[in-house]
Structure 1
């Protein structure tokens, strides 16, 4: 299952090749592959590749969110062209209760493109995922660009509003069974058991 991010967060078309994200079955989780333009702006985060990096959203990054729209429990997966990543588990909008979880993720930069591949363990997904959204960010200062798979429609924009990737009401239907097969049952996760 492949998605292309070709709009900004506020529903304008991007002026470069679309960021592509592909989800497929993996061993013990879901494989996430990214193929995206490489802007090299801002520079690489000052952390080792393959490791979690807090505040990764301030750098060049691609993000995917997986939501249970009834409970507002969701998983946020952030990856960057330099190999760092950030995983957040959220219980309610903006309410991260666990972050910097490990992720098997590698990225390579070739010219003006980068590719990344990671395996998201099933234990990171909240029960009953039914919606998702994905985003891409690059650039510095006033040139920072915030892009969304499912952006905020122009008619819903408010004056002075800025990008907020946690506008859960704009996420769109998504079922893990569409990737894993209709008979597949999501494994239970101890990480989410004590969240109310």
Structure 2
């Protein structure tokens, strides 16, 4: 009798294990890139991509790929090993793995990931028609494991790097139906660089060069088979495809600039594009038993040119272009503000607003302020931005002594590009201007900047107002 019970229990257990295994097998999709873009077989281990859904319901990609050591040799990587890399455009020129998610309307999302941790996220609406580019993945940055560079590469033995990417739901278009993936690397033959383009689904014979955006090469994918739905269009897509593109975003600062501290308070920078301006709302919610001892000189509503020199409790946003021109906006709980136009780090002009900031009463360490920033104040062709919350110095309410353990200087783009000597990188992450300012408006020098440059530079230093952002956003080859 006991033997019968044991056998029945054993069979039940084995069946249960098989059932669990079958369920697990049905919870992911696995792909291997085994061919070049034209269907020719590759000559190394394939790139493997596994798509699954994590415990939080987000779509996750696991990547295994051969390392060829041809990532961007001039990459400006974040030096701190404990900080994630930042979004960077044009990494497809070197060595990347890419994934594309397409719907029947021609909307698609492209992910690019390099073995050094750099990444790019792009939204398209129509063949190669850029909607939003170089989107950051704050708090969800790819995790890359690559020990190949440290150990060196034996040409007789391939080295593999791995990565896990959690894709924000808002990046995926509505009703994803098709998928493709690609891998790009370079080889050096007799000193000449040769780029290899590899595709999960190769293009047909009618295509004469690599093109990973070629819709006809995509094949069907059913994300519902792994319990993931794309039936509704994310607000980011709806706003980006609208004619006015009044895009709203919440940026939550969760780490210190050096990634050594996690924030205990909520610091949310809300941006909303409007007609002719960007509305910025800073909201700080803190319940810790500390107080910010802000000097009396910085407790008056209105502009104060010393706000940046005395960085007490305050919030800052900076928008910069490739010419070193920046718009920097700072404000504190009392409505004190400083809005500056800078060139190569030097203040060229401070702006005085017609109206005071809209701020809620400052209670403990919780506060909120709102300001409207005119499009005219943005430098031409914004390419980078940074957000900073100074939560320092802090004092214990009971002892009135400073408490550095709970102080934090948080940034939306953590890390420094110039090493430990520089505390904060005020330039920040690479992104496109459409998140913050009208693209066509930002493609020319505004009247405010034109007057400023005329006053402070020679005529030959004034940027060409006919230049377009299309220069920095041009399509090049298969990757973009």
Contact 2:115 2:144 in 1 (8 A): yes
Structure 2 Cα separation of the partners of residues 45 and 62 of structure 1: 19
Instruction: Give the alignment partner of residue 157 of structure 1, picking from 206, 222, 226.
Output: 206
Change (3 A) 1:88 1:38: same
Runs of 4+ in structure 1 over 3 Å off:
42-45, 184-188
Contact 1:10 1:157 in 2 (8 A): no
Structure 1 segment 1-196 matched on structure 2, within 5 A: 1-26=29-54, 27-44=56-73, 46-48=75-77, 49-69=84-104, 71-103=105-137, 104-111=141-148, 112-139=159-186, 142-153=193-204, 156-158=205-207, 161-180=208-227, 184=229, 186-194=231-239, 195=241
Change (3 A) 1:45 1:193: farther
Contact 1:47 1:84 in 2 (8 A): no
RMSD: 1.8
- For structure 1, the residue ranges without an aligned partner over 5 or more in a row are none
TM-score norm. by structure 2 comes to 0.38
Following TM superposition, by how much is the alpha carbon of 1:85 offset from its aligned partner in structure 2, in angstroms?
0.5
Greater strand content: 1
> How far does the alpha carbon of each residue in 1:126-162 deviate from its partner, in whole angstroms, 9 at most, with x for none?
0010001000000056521000000013xx235xx21
Following TM superposition, by how much is the alpha carbon of 1:188 offset from its aligned partner in structure 2, in angstroms?
3.8
Greater helix content: 2
For the pair shown, the structure with the greater C-alpha radius of gyration is 2
Structure with the bigger RCO (C-alpha within 8 Å, sep 6+) is: 1
The SS at the match of 2:216 is helix
Contact 2:71 2:115 in 1 (8 A): no
The SS at the match of 1:165 is coil
Structure 2 Cα separation of the partners of residues 168 and 186 of structure 1: 21
TM-score norm. by structure 1 comes to 0.89
Change (3 A) 1:45 1:187: farther
> How far does the alpha carbon of each residue in 1:27-57 deviate from its partner, in whole angstroms, 9 at most, with x for none?
2521111100000024456133521011111
Structure 1 Cα separation of the partners of residues 167 and 47 of structure 2: 19
Contact 1:28 1:121 in 2 (8 A): no
